[in-house]
Structure 1
């Protein structure tokens, strides 16, 4: 098996702001794994919140290149066990695992969702994300991209007023993501007002380790609450089960498709609502997420839709939210 590493800087269509940062571009690492004339592609982005750089991930992979290329590839699950023994960071694991899964599907000649025994006939549609900005610019983004379902990033002194103004311009469903910016009291106070404004659920309103606050929110909030920053890896699912109504799984944070599938299984056992989210990836990462769609209740896979230009072909998302799965097997990815 051969490895190739490619670094890209993705340009965003608009400045993207959440409660803790703003950015106009996103660095990303594409891992290419080749075997028997087929190539699988995986992706992981840099992330200042988790102190992840592209150079750091590339250095990790280069340090164990021989152990990876010398591995006799059979299944992504066995390959993942091998990768874990090399003590790689979760983001690095993700890029390699996504590539391995894409490669495996291409070698088998089937899309991953089919290999996993699921059907792509029914699936949730993705939301489209509106980052924090002036109200005028947030309204303009709504009007520029008519969509049936929006995720609104909040974490300002005027959050309810923002949603109230946005509601004047669309009948679409809203989801709210405060990215840990609220207190328990704010969340409980805001929830009924936001519910009246057509909000479906709240994502990670409190700091990731505020379990006491989340216990209060789960008891008193009139809106369901979905974990994000509180649910990073597989071991977090069990704890989140007592404090949230659902979990948002990020492939980069948990280490890829292989652990994400186990998190989905555990979440179902606990009766949690299941969501998979993105990290402003290109179509490489988004196409991997799409393979999980039949197993999910919600999905946030609009990363490639937020870019000025893409670096790959794969899953295509139409204006009504419908997903066109590529004919190519695996995750269906081709680099441009």
Structure 2
């Protein structure tokens, strides 16, 4: 294989604010893996919360470049297992794993969802995320992008007022993501009003390690609760099943499609709802997520809708939230020049 790396700065249409941070751009790293005239692409984003910069991610992958190029690639799962022995972060591992899957599918001339034995005749629609802002600006963002499902970021002193005002302007499904900003008491107290306002579920209301608080919520919340920051890797799924109704899998956090597929199976066996979310990736990362759609209950893959300078073609999200799947094999990614 031939390994190449490219870095990009994605520009957001609006400053993106959640309970713990705010940013107007997103740095991203693209891995290119080429073999037999085909190139697969994978993506990982920088993330201050988890301590990953473009420089650190580049350093990790460049450190084993020669080994990767000499690896006898045949299947992405075997490649992932080999990479696990190289002491890579999950973010770096994700980009390599996504590129390997895209390459493998292109070599087989079949999309990944077909290789996995699934069909895209039916799939969940992505939500569109409204970041924290003034209530007026959050309403304006929603009006700017009419959509059937909104994820609303909360973690302010005006959380209920925000949802009440947004509800006046849309009959869409609402999902709430507090990004660890609430307490158990707040969550339990807010849930009945949020349910009346048409909220479908609450995502990660408490700090990731507040298992005692999540147990209280599990017994008393009138709304389902989905784990995000509490469910990073495969080992977290079983514990989350005792405290949450579902899990939100992030490819960057778990290390790519290979472990994500195992997490989906494990979650299903435990009776959990399954969601896959994004980290404001370009169409490179989102096209990988799209291959999982037939296996999911919910999805947050709105990254390309939030940026002004997408860098690839692949999965295309239409104005009605339906998906146009690419004709290429793998994840169907073509990098724009």
TM interval, shorter chain, is over 0.9
DSSP-derived class of the 2:156 partner: coil
Deviation at 1:304, TM superposition (A): 1.0
Deviation at 1:309, TM superposition (A): 1.6
1:295-323 per-residue CA deviation (whole Å, 9 max, x = no partner) reads: 00000000111001200000000011100
Q: Which residue of 2 aligns with 1:236?
A: 236
Q: Which residue of 2 aligns with 1:323?
A: 323
Deviation at 1:67, TM superposition (A): 1.0
1:171-204 per-residue CA deviation (whole Å, 9 max, x = no partner) reads: 0000000000000000000000000000000000
Q: Which residue of 1 aligns with 2:99?
A: 99
Deviation at 1:66, TM superposition (A): 1.2
Which consecutive aligned stretches of 4+ in structure 1 deviate over 6 angstroms post-superposition?
none
Q: Distance in 2 between the 1:153 and 1:59 partners?
A: 33
Q: Distance in 2 between the 1:158 and 1:135 partners?
A: 9
TM-score scaled by length of structure 2: 0.99
DSSP-derived class of the 1:179 partner: coil
DSSP-derived class of the 1:6 partner: strand
Q: Which residue of 2 aligns with 1:65?
A: 65
DSSP-derived class of the 1:238 partner: helix
Q: Which residue of 1 aligns with 2:74?
A: 74
Q: Distance in 2 between the 1:304 and 1:230 partners?
A: 25
Q: Distance in 2 between the 1:69 and 1:33 partners?
A: 9
TM-score scaled by length of structure 1: 1.00
Q: Which residue of 2 aligns with 1:163?
A: 163
Q: Which residue of 2 aligns with 1:210?
A: 210
Q: Distance in 2 between the 1:202 and 1:45 partners?
A: 25
Deviation at 1:63, TM superposition (A): 0.8
Q: Distance in 2 between the 1:258 and 1:251 partners?
A: 9
Q: Does 1:307 align with 2:307?
A: yes
Gaps of 5+ in 2: none
1:82-128 per-residue CA deviation (whole Å, 9 max, x = no partner) reads: 11111110000000000000000000000000000000100000000
Q: Which residue of 2 aligns with 1:46?
A: 46
Q: Which residue of 1 aligns with 2:332?
A: 332
Q: Distance in 2 between the 1:330 and 1:81 partners?
A: 19
1:42-70 per-residue CA deviation (whole Å, 9 max, x = no partner) reads: 00000000000111111111111111110
Q: Distance in 2 between the 1:289 and 1:43 partners?
A: 11
Q: Which residue of 1 aligns with 2:10?
A: 10
Deviation at 1:325, TM superposition (A): 0.2
Q: Distance in 1 between the 2:155 and 2:332 partners?
A: 37
Q: Distance in 2 between the 1:304 and 1:252 partners?
A: 16
The size of the alignment, in residue pairs, is 336
Q: Which residue of 2 aligns with 1:259?
A: 259
Q: Which residue of 2 aligns with 1:195?
A: 195
DSSP-derived class of the 1:48 partner: coil
